[in-house]
Amino acid sequence: QTEYILKMNLYCDGKKVLIVELVVFTDGWINYQSSLYFISSERKSWAESRRYCTERGADLIIINNREEQVSETNFVTISCGAHVWIGLTDSDMEGRWKWVDGSTPGTEHLMLICCFRSWGFAEPNSIGDNEDCALTHSLGWADFSCYNIFQWICEKNNISP
């Protein structure tokens, strides 16, 4: 599989906080640390986005450390500040958010990380009791109806089984 190197300087409030070197494969997957990521250019519902990922041995992105939080926000920047589905939902029980692997967001997701908070102001708000899927955008995470269509980010381990 052909690959090329993408080097990025990541800034926070005008200060360089991270220099990232990403390996990008010709099929669109990005190798960063121990995971491969795919940033969609299409738009689908949350379920359709998740299906796209799982059919490729991946799942919607799970933000489980500071480095991934930083890289995830920059994936959104790469996606032109779009609204992007992540692998977080409270569809099983309202108000009980779970990642697609069944884990729950820890307290680290409530803290300010670099220039980006996880949940945006007044989120999650479950307007009309119909917002059960999470996305990320320039203001943070937000809950939206799972039927809306947005871009998405897939994540999978870069070690083949």
CATH of the domain spanning 42-157, picked from 3.90.1150.10, 3.10.100.10, 3.90.1170.30, 3.30.70.2740:
3.10.100.10
Q: What is the mean pLDDT of residues 128-144?
A: 85
User: Per-residue confidence at 58, pLDDT binned at 50, 70, 90?
Assistant: very high
Distance (Å, whole) CA 113 – CA 60: 21
**Between residues 58 and 121, the one the model is more confident about:** 58
Q: Which two tokens stand for residue 57?
A: 């041995």
